[in-house]
Structure 1
Amino acid sequence: MARSWLSAEEVVPVITQETEAGLVRALEGLAHGSASVRLRAALEVGTAADPRCADALVARCAVEPEFFVRDMLTWALVRQPAAVTVPKLVAELDSECAQARSQALHTLSKIGDRRAWPALTRALLTDSDDAVARSAWRAAVVLVPEGGGGDLAAVLATQLGRGGRETRLSLSRAFVALGEEGMPVLRAAEADPAPRAREHALATQRLVRDPDAGFEWAVEEARRIMVGG
């Protein structure tokens, strides 16, 4: 499907000679050995909000080892025009590097531009890497078009019972975001032959009805229901 992105040339601002050198130094700082230097560099690049820096920011997201620096890189990308950043981030979703896929999805969820929705494929929503899958779930519930929640829920339901606490909680939160649109598939999952998936479905239903309920409490209630049934 063709995408009507604006060209980068239409949105690139004029950068004065006075700030050019500082921006170049900041870009170089993104690869510095010190995490604190990289953090300041990402802050400077984000403050400048020059679309010419988007490639460097996206590339750094794929390899940056520190969470708090990656968070600043995402902030810097969010400040860029979506017409520039979204196509670059979408391209990262095909990367063989799991971190590149995960960070691109995370940033797309923060930008919230629904033109990226077609790129959120079933393969990403069921990615074998838990971090990528969690990021895909978060992005999907933000970007899903109106009326598409039911189909999305059907894919998400295939992941019920997956992984450890963090992954299961992330999936439950995605269903909470979908609200009633996801309830039919959660109810259907009560018949899943896998006990772990049934437990997760019951716990998630409880969280959809009461988002303030704790995840552990919801899981314990699900176990009581399964034993009682």
Structure 2
Amino acid sequence: MTWDEMAPLLWQASGESAVMVAWSTLFTVLFGLPLGVALVVLDRGGLRPMPALKSVLGFLVNSGRSLPFIVLMIAITPFTRLVAGTTVGTAAFVVPLTVGAVPFFARLVETALREVGPDVVQAAQAMGASRLAVVRKVLLPEALPGLVAGLTVTVVALIGYSAMAGTLGGGGLGDLAVRYGYQRFETALMIVTVVLLIVIVQLLQSLGDRVARRLSHK
């Protein structure tokens, strides 16, 4: 297969992977960030201690993280069909990507927030700040470098998840590698796909690390 034949396939597959990763990243932040905050706020010694509820949330998060992604994709097929109306295609696989990434990101958010010094939180409370104000104006800003680093790790993981999604009809670079590189023995296309994924991951990781370092120096 020549480069002229590979280029359109790679362009289309890259676009599909980008759509999957972008939308799943958005939904992962929307659901995972509040969940990670809740794990800290509801814990013993937190802003609003509710150990029983925190234990339930922790169990759900750990359960979600314990399933290999390819098993998760199959296990939640009915839920995917309910949400997306189908179980194949790029849009449909945003659902399992999000479900798989939310507990992962939530734990990273929890870790970042726990690194904020308790004296900073206590000082805000002493000045009469509400729980919500402490979270919005103290915890999240102080933990921002760690949150950015956690988000970077999550996006890299989502790229890997999206490649696996291609094996079950999700499209993207994973689907391209399987259909052409594996089933049609197009070794050159397989190599180019692998190199492209490596380059994308390296660029995103470098960008995330740079942003996190700049935020930590402010």
TM-score over 0.5 (shorter chain): no
TM-score for both structures, normalised by structure 2: 0.25
Q: Which has the higher contact order (CA 8 A, sep 6+)?
A: 2
Higher normalized helix content (fraction of residues): 2
